[in-house]
Amino acid sequence: MKLIIAIIQPHKLEDILSELDEKEIHLKTVSNALGCGRQKGRTEIYRGKKEIGNLLKKVRLEIAVNDNYLESAISAIVKGARTGNIGDGKIFVTDLADCIRIRTGEKGSQAIG
Amino acid sequence: MINSGDTAWILMSTALVMLMTAPGLAFFYGGLVRRKNVLATMMQSFFVLCLISIQWILWGYSLSFGPDKGHIIGSLAWCGLKGVTMAPNPAYSSTIPHLLFMVYQMMFAVITPGLITGAFAERMKFSAYAIFTLLWATLVYDPVCHWVWGAGGWLRNMGALDFAGGTVVHVTSGISALVCALVLGKRRGFGHEPMPPHNLPLTILGASLLWFGWFGFNAGSALGSTELAVWAFIATNTAAAAAALTWMFIEWKMTGKPTILGGATGAVAGLVAITPASGFVSPLSAILIGIAVGFVCYTSVAVIKLKLAYDDSLDAFGVHGVGGTLGALLTGLFAQKLINPAGNNGLFFGNPGLLGTQLIGVAAVMAYSIAVTFILLKIVDAIVGLRVPDEEEVVGLDITQHEESAYTLLD
């Protein structure tokens, strides 16, 4: 089992979700996030004063998958999120120790699907 | 002889000027600070409304407008409003009750110390603020108000024109704000941490309420439901619009984008500058005054302040001090008797002498305000300390000064 955490551009969320749907990956968590990469945030100007280092609005997408779904999930995210510009985001993948469905008490691979 | 039309308009205007402090100024400043300080900032405006309302009745009105003492201050004879009645006082207005004039002026006394709060936002101890405000209203505002508007005041006798408070309200508060910013010092992290406004819609709401209330401030200063009130009303709206447009176009040119904060700031600068002139100038002059103040205040806030690197956090000096001074001087250029026979002609209408009078008025008020504000800050610092401790500044004034939060994380 793997946990995929993707930090993506907010305006690409719809594209990614439809790519994931095509691969029949439906279970996910989405939240608003702030962050920045090499561009070190954005500059905003208030009354002529530059405010540097304001974090960028990002979306954080979390998906827990069984190993055999990992590659298709990653390719769906990359396909939906990529524009080729700086700021497209990152995908992190970690091993997932366990997963429990609260309603039934199922554990592990069964609980993820 | 009391005129019911005049009385109705000044009652209305009194309420309009009250609206400028809270919610107007409270929202305007509240939106500009970081989220951890919004309540403390709004509290400063709300508190000054309460505090000076009482001060004005007990002794403020008497010091400002009471029987003259040596052309510099009113006596204490009218303390507690003794002798201030429903009968009009012809020295101020012969068609409205003296008590109505008193309460109308109260709202000016309320907003003036409120304007200063923009200079020391996000770092002043509340107890220090309360003491400073009471002392400042009594020892700076009340005397200057007497000089300019009180019967027998020396600037009034000299013929200095200040229709609705460019000098009395904006120069006093603006220059005192600069002293406060310098004496208190910068906020922690100023210059290397971002400190963007936390809620610009609040600020825009506040600026728009200020604009609305300003009709009572300026057109109400005609002290009657008169043609002069109509002139002042038009000049007020015109200058605000011209200054806001000017500011936005400068930004568009200089930084690539016009901003709504720039528009709101420009509008307030225009309202400040037209305040002393509003009852003496034509609508076309008001456009020119608005454009001029747009350029000058933009330069003071976006260029000079950054070069000198002082932390006038919400630009109380940059907008009110600079705009008020410019407005007082431009009154010396654009005033015309055609609009207000009780006024005077300015330089552009054949009377160069008025500009000199205006200059003396502004210079005297500035010098006095700087000196007294500086002394008061030193006294308050010795009694309770001006600034909150560093760790309280980091946590925010809402929690540390008032034990309240504006926004919760959940719900």
Alpha-helical regions (H) of A4-81: 13-22, 70-81
Q: At what angle do helices B126-136 and B98-116 cross, to 10 degrees?
A: 140
Whether the CB-CB separation of B335 and B344 falls below 8 Å is answered with: yes
Tokens of B153: 């005041």
Tokens of A24: 């029949």
Our count of domains for chain B comes to 1
Residue count of chain A, please give it.
113
Interface test with A, best of B199, B259, B310, B317 (most A CBs within 10 A): B259
Contacts A46 to B, Cβ<8 Å: 196-197, 259, 261
Residue A43 Cα, gap to closest chain B Cα (Å): 9
Whether the CB-CB separation of A7 and A100 falls below 8 Å is answered with: no
**Which CATH number fits the domain that encloses residue B246?**
1.10.3430.10
User: CA–CA separation, B130 vs B128, rounded Å?
Assistant: 5
What's the predicted TM-score (pTM) here? 0.91
Whether the CB-CB separation of B167 and B160 falls below 8 Å is answered with: yes
DSSP assigned state of A34 = E
Whether the CB-CB separation of B274 and B239 falls below 8 Å is answered with: yes
Kindly report the number of other CB atoms within 10 A of residue B134's CB atom.
Answer: 18
Show Cβ contacts of residue A11 under 8 Å, excluding neighbours closer than 6 positions.
none
Smallest Cβ–Cβ distance between B302 and the set A49, A52, A54 belongs to A49
B408 part of a folded domain = no
**Which CATH number fits the domain that encloses residue A96?**
3.30.70.120
Q: Domain range holding A50?
A: 2-112
3-state secondary structure string across B8-63: HHHHHHHHHHHHHHHHHHHHHHHHHCCHHHHHHHHHHHHHHHHHHHHHHHHHHHHH
User: CA–CA separation, B261 vs B302, rounded Å?
Assistant: 13
Contacts B302 to A, Cβ<8 Å: 47-49
CA distances from B59 to B79, B156, B195, B283, B377 (A): 5, 21, 40, 38, 22
Whether the CB-CB separation of B297 and B252 falls below 8 Å is answered with: no
User: CA–CA separation, B192 vs B208, rounded Å?
Assistant: 31
Question: Looking at the DSSP assignment, which residues form a beta bridge with residue B307?
Answer: none
User: CA–CA separation, B275 vs B320, rounded Å?
Assistant: 11
CA angle B341, B345, B351 (to 5 degrees): 145
The complex scores an ipTM of 0.75
Our count of domains for chain A comes to 1
User: CA–CA separation, B228 vs B253, rounded Å?
Assistant: 37
User: CA–CA separation, B370 vs B172, rounded Å?
Assistant: 8
List all residues of chain B from 334 to 393 with a beta carbon under 8 Å from chain A: none
Q: Domain range holding B149?
A: 4-402
**CB atoms B261 and A46 under 8 Å:** yes
Count of CA atoms in the C-beta half-sphere (13 A) of B43: 22
B369 part of a folded domain = yes
Burial class (CB within 10 angstroms; exposed 0-12, middle 13-18, buried 19+) of B284? exposed
pLDDT tens for A72-98 read 999 999 999 999 998 899 999 999 999
User: CA–CA separation, B123 vs A35, rounded Å?
Assistant: 28
User: CA–CA separation, B276 vs B274, rounded Å?
Assistant: 6
Tokens of B358: 């205006």
Q: Any CB–CB contact under 8 A between B197 and chain A?
A: yes
pLDDT at A31: 96
Q: Any CB–CB contact under 8 A between B302 and chain A?
A: yes
Per-residue pLDDT of chain A (113 residues; tens, 9 = 90+): 999 999 999 999 999 999 999 999 999 999 999 998 887 788 888 888 888 777 889 999 999 999 999 999 999 999 999 999 988 999 999 999 999 999 999 999 999 87
DSSP H/E element including B273: helix B260-274
Q: Any CB–CB contact under 8 A between B296 and chain A?
A: no
* Region of B189 on the Ramachandran plot (φ > 0 left; ψ -120 to 50 alpha; else beta): left
pLDDT at B411: 67
B387 part of a folded domain = yes
Per-residue pLDDT of chain B (411 residues; tens, 9 = 90+): 999 999 999 999 999 999 999 999 999 999 999 999 999 999 999 999 999 999 999 999 999 999 999 999 999 999 999 999 999 999 999 999 999 999 999 999 999 999 999 999 999 999 999 999 999 999 999 999 999 999 999 999 999 999 999 999 999 999 999 999 999 999 999 988 889 999 999 999 999 999 999 999 999 999 999 999 999 999 999 999 999 999 999 999 999 999 999 999 999 999 999 999 999 999 999 999 999 999 999 999 999 999 999 999 999 999 999 999 999 999 999 999 999 999 999 999 999 999 999 999 999 999 999 999 999 999 999 999 999 999 999 999 999 999 999 998 776
Q: Any CB–CB contact under 8 A between A47 and chain B?
A: yes
Show Cβ contacts of residue B190 under 8 Å, excluding neighbours closer than 6 positions.
B311
